[in-house]
Amino acid sequence: MKKAVGYGLIIALCLSVAINVGLGILTYKNSQSTASTSASKSNKLLAKIEGQKLFEEDLIQKTPNIQRTREQLYRIKKQAVDQWVAEKAIELEAKRQKMPVGQLIQKIVAGLKVAVTEQEITAVIKQFGNAYPDPKDPTKKGPIPRPQARQYLTQMKQQQALRGKIEELRAAYSFKIYLEAPKTPKVKKNLALTNRPYSGNPNAKVKIVEFADFQCSACAYIYTSTLAKLKTEYGDKIMFVFRDFPLPQHKDAYLAAIASKCAAKQGKFWEYHDLLFNKQRHLKRESLITYASEIGANMETFKPCLEDKSIAKLVDEDMALANELGINATPTVFINGEKVHSITYASLKEKIDSILK
């Protein structure tokens, strides 16, 4: 019994790590299995009076908390379903190899070989900045020591490798997931505005809109691992629009959003965007100005732009719209006005391909 609990915890840890970095719940497919992606079967009539009708979609538009609650419940269920499938796949594999489950888990973990380079360690030290507590004086903070940075990277890579092994096991067995994501009503407003930073073709059939925060680590990860790849892969077949939603707990994100708009005025938004994501721990005003100089922005126009109320108004409009849409986390992605539940490369690619076809 203890072994069963042990491997269950290992699987739960892998799945929870994936969620925490913004990957969403792990979803797998193989040639013998499919995951259900159909939405609600109908837009239910909830009430009527003197010929006027209230449908479920109307109620959700009026009360965003309903949709958020439905999505939260779905994520909880999906995590439990994915963990159950993973556990059963491991049990089947243990049976196939004729060994106890605990022994198979030990074998998998022992086989995880990861390598950490000196360049990666240096990058992590720069990323954390002077945020590591001094063991001799808790009131002081400095750079993370190289041994601790190496240990951090090693653990992260081991978790990624373990998730990959669990993915391989699941893909080896035929399975289906029947849990359906809650239907997301299409947003009636046009989210893909050309007066916001965008790439691709404004007339494309596929319009992807991301609400993001420059201090959000999940935003940086999802953009690098997923959205940037899709932008490169599809080019003018899609339009990709960036909109701001700086979260209140990220004290430097609002000014960073304004600074990015100032860079956009000089045609340097995406260069600046990428640099801010790489420097998330250092987004104070002085740093924002330094980064603009690094990408070759004109300082005579950039610095005054940070105080331009018309630029701040664009950020405020994005924030107001995000609140109106019931967005409470970043990144949040819409494709053709429909909110995406799982922001993974595979799920977004599937959605894009289905629209293009």
Q: What is the DSSP letter of 236?
A: G
Does a structural domain hold residue 191?
no
Q: What is the DSSP letter of 182?
A: P
Does a structural domain hold residue 46?
yes
Q: Are residues 336 and 306 in the same domain?
A: yes
Domain with 107, as residue range(s), is 1-185
> What own/partner pairs with CB < 8 Å and gap ≥ 24 does 228-233 have?
229/345, 230/345, 230/348, 230/349, 230/352, 231/199, 231/200, 233/349
Owner of token pair 């990957």: 23
Q: Are residues 209 and 319 in the same domain?
A: yes
Measured distance CA(222)–CA(62) in Å, rounded: 30
Q: Cα-flanking dihedrals φ and ψ of residue 269, to 5°?
A: -60, -50
Does a structural domain hold residue 192?
no
Q: Are residues 166 and 216 in the same domain?
A: no
Q: What is the pLDDT of residue 66?
A: 81
Q: Cα-flanking dihedrals φ and ψ of residue 54, to 5°?
A: -115, 115
Q: Are residues 222 and 336 in the same domain?
A: yes
280 and 220 Cβ atoms separated by less than 8 Å: yes
179 and 81 Cβ atoms separated by less than 8 Å: yes
Does a structural domain hold residue 307?
yes
Q: Are residues 91 and 48 in the same domain?
A: yes
Q: Are residues 176 and 205 in the same domain?
A: no
CATH classification at residue 349:
3.40.30.10
The number of folded domains in the chain is: 2
Chain centre distance of CA 112:
26
- Crossing angle of helices 269-278 and 285-294, in 10° steps, is 130
Q: Are residues 68 and 165 in the same domain?
A: yes
Q: What is the pLDDT of residue 12?
A: 54
Q: Are residues 150 and 231 in the same domain?
A: no
Measured distance CA(240)–CA(197) in Å, rounded: 9
104, two tokens:
């198979």
Does a structural domain hold residue 250?
yes
Q: Are residues 65 and 167 in the same domain?
A: yes
343 and 299 Cβ atoms separated by less than 8 Å: no
List the chain pLDDT tens, one digit each, 357 residues.
444 445 555 555 454 444 333 333 333 333 333 333 333 445 789 999 999 999 887 887 777 678 778 888 988 998 899 889 989 999 999 999 999 999 998 898 888 888 889 988 888 787 777 778 877 887 888 888 899 989 988 988 888 888 888 888 888 888 888 888 777 777 888 999 999 999 999 999 999 999 999 999 899 989 988 999 999 999 999 999 999 999 999 999 999 999 999 999 999 999 999 999 988 988 999 999 999 999 999 999 999 999 999 999 999 999 999 998 888 889 999 999 999 888 888 889 999 999 998
Q: Are residues 202 and 168 in the same domain?
A: no
* Predicted model pTM: 0.64
- Tell me which of 160, 185, 210 is where a domain ends: 185
The residue among 269, 223, 249 whose CA lies nearest residue 328 is 249
**β partners of residue 241:** 198, 209
282, two tokens:
């250092």
Q: Cα-flanking dihedrals φ and ψ of residue 97, to 5°?
A: -85, 0
Q: Are residues 178 and 305 in the same domain?
A: no
Measured distance CA(231)–CA(225) in Å, rounded: 11
